[in-house]
């Protein structure tokens, strides 16, 4: 069942993205001011949305781990943070490519861009911490705390375009943009969502297998009379 969902997510993600990007390039109208340059929106915006979704999953998994210590939640947190960081970085690069022809610069110190950069550095720090702590129990608890503290940035990034009205446009709504643009954006976003879920599932399985290998090792040597070093009962 899990395998079916996983490959189904990959297939539907690729198909939806292909359709969405085809529509974005060939069917959706060009923007009144930016012209064809605006078509990068169908790549940039889904990337950023799904980065936010993945980082929210990371926050939920971190909180869940503190309530119920299970390697599943820890693995989910690791998987979602990595996927979120990759998507967010890709989103930032596409944003810079969009920024060059429209704003004249790749990077401006606009609040949206600055808060997003802070967010990405925060999650880099989170992943670095995970690499620097060997004890799986401590790693899971500490990184959960760091993830919860870092997640305070998420609403700041999201609302930054409304709090500080600056260069970056505010979120477009179906009321303010062409229906053809909205439909194309939605298809692209769902395609990216399916792809993000696929990435997270693959990474989650790898992370869980890593945890199992880490905590199972002392018990595999159980005949030698060594006590288990870690709480392997958390591997459900």
Partner 1 sequence: MSLAAPTTPATPATPATPERTRPRAIGVLSATLALLRKDLLIEWRTRARLNAIIFFALATLLMFSFALGPDTKLLEKNAGGYYWLAILFASVLALGESFRVESENACLDGVRLAPADARAIFLSKALGNALLLTALGVILFPVMVGLYGVRIATSPVDLGIILVLGCLALSAPGTVYAAISSNARARDVLLPLLLFPLVIPALLSATKATTLVLQGDPMNQLNSWLGLLSGFNLIYWGVGFLLFPRIIED
Tell me the C-alpha distance between 64 and 69, whole Å. Answer: 8
Candidate residues 86, 90, 148, 202; the one interacting with partner 1 per rule CB under 8 A: 148
136 binds partner 1 (CB under 8 A): no
146 binds partner 1 (CB under 8 A): yes
Tell me the C-alpha distance between 160 and 155, whole Å. Answer: 8
* Shortest Å distance, C-beta 55 to partner 1: 14
- Considering only residues 102 to 121 of the shown chain, the ones binding partner 1 according to CB under 8 A are 118, 121
C-beta closer to partner 1: residue 98 or 126: 126
Candidate residues 15, 93, 105, 145; the one interacting with partner 1 per rule CB under 8 A: 145
- Tell me 35's DSSP state: B
232 binds partner 1 (CB under 8 A): no
Number of Cβ within a 10 Å radius of residue 158: 18
Candidate residues 97, 129, 167, 235; the one interacting with partner 1 per rule CB under 8 A: 129
35 strand-pairing partners: 31
Dihedral sign (CA 225, 230, 231, 232): negative
* Shortest Å distance, C-beta 156 to partner 1: 8
C-beta closer to partner 1: residue 46 or 136: 136
Site track 62-101 with partner 1 (rule: CB under 8 A), x = hit:
----x-----------------------------------
Tell me the C-alpha distance between 61 and 148, whole Å. Answer: 10
The closest of 104, 108, 95 to 166, measured between CA atoms, is 108
Candidate residues 8, 29, 35, 125; the one interacting with partner 1 per rule CB under 8 A: 125
Phi (first) and psi of residue 198, to 5 degrees: -60, -50
Dihedral sign (CA 158, 22, 178, 108): positive
Q: Which positions touch partner 1 (CB under 8 A)?
A: 66, 118, 121-122, 124-126, 128-129, 132-134, 138, 141-142, 144-146, 148-150, 152, 156
């Amino acid at each position: 069942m899990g395998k079916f969902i996983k490959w189904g997510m990959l297939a539907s993600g690729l198909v939806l993205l292909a359709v969405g990007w085809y529509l974005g390039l060939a069917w959706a109208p060009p923007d009144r001011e930016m012209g064809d340059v605006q078509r990068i929106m169908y790549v940039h915006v889904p990337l950023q949305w799904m980065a936010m979704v993945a980082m929210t999953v990371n926050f939920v998994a971190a909180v869940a781990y503190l309530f119920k210590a299970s390697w599943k939640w820890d693995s989910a947190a690791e998987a979602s943070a990595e996927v979120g960081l990759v998507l967010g970085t890709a989103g930032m690069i596409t944003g810079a490519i969009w920024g060059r022809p429209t704003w004249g610069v790749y990077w401006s110190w606009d609040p949206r861009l600055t808060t997003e950069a802070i967010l990405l550095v925060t999650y880099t720090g989170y992943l670095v911490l995970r690499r620097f702590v060997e004890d799986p129990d401590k790693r899971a608890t500490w990184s959960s705390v760091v993830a919860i503290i870092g997640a305070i940035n998420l609403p700041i990034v999201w609302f930054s375009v409304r709090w500080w009205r600056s260069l970056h446009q505010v979120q477009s709504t179906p009321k303010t943009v062409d229906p053809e643009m909205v439909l194309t954006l939605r298809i692209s976003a769902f395609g990216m969502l399916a792809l993000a879920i696929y990435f997270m599932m693959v990474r989650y399985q790898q992370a869980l297998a890593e945890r199992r290998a880490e905590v199972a090792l002392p018990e595999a040597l159980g005949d030698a009379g060594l006590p288990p070093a870690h709480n392997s009962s958390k591997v459900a």
